[in-house]
Amino acid sequence: MTNAQIIFQEKMRLAEEGILKYTGRTVIGLNMAGEEVELPEVQPIHTYQAWQSLGYQVKKGEKAVAKFAVWKFLNRKKKADDDAEEDGDKAVVGGKCYMKVAAFFTDEQVEKKEA
């Protein structure tokens, strides 16, 4: 399961529990049989870092609405050659994925960063 699928599934569960709100809009998706289905859209949730990259700051004192495990990719670096050791240059040669618990915040818990 991808991170997008994990987050979508968790958003739907949180909305059913009343933790997240519906936006009033709908989205079209595919069910397991490959048929189109219309689903209610749930308010967005992102991690702290994702909100930062979108130009938002989580408000001071806000607590995560949910914490659940998502995939994290860790780059594994290897020195390219002996000369690179002196420069500190490293080349990415692969990595590994593991599950890590991440904290998620809603759009109501953030504010636009000042320019």
Of 55, 49, 44, the closest CA to residue 72 belongs to: 49
CB atoms within 10 A of CB 110: 20
Q: Can you give the pLDDT at residue 63?
A: 97
The total number of residues written for the chain in this structure: 115
Q: How many CB atoms lie within 10 A of CB 102?
A: 21
Q: Residue 84: its pLDDT value, please?
A: 44
Residue 96 belongs to domain spanning: 3-112
Looking at the structure of the chain, the number of domains it has is 1
pLDDT in tens, 30-74: 888 999 999 999 999 999 999 999 999 999 999 999 999 999 988
pLDDT band at residue 94 using 50, 70 and 90 as cut-offs? confident
Question: Which pLDDT value is given to residue 91?
Answer: 64
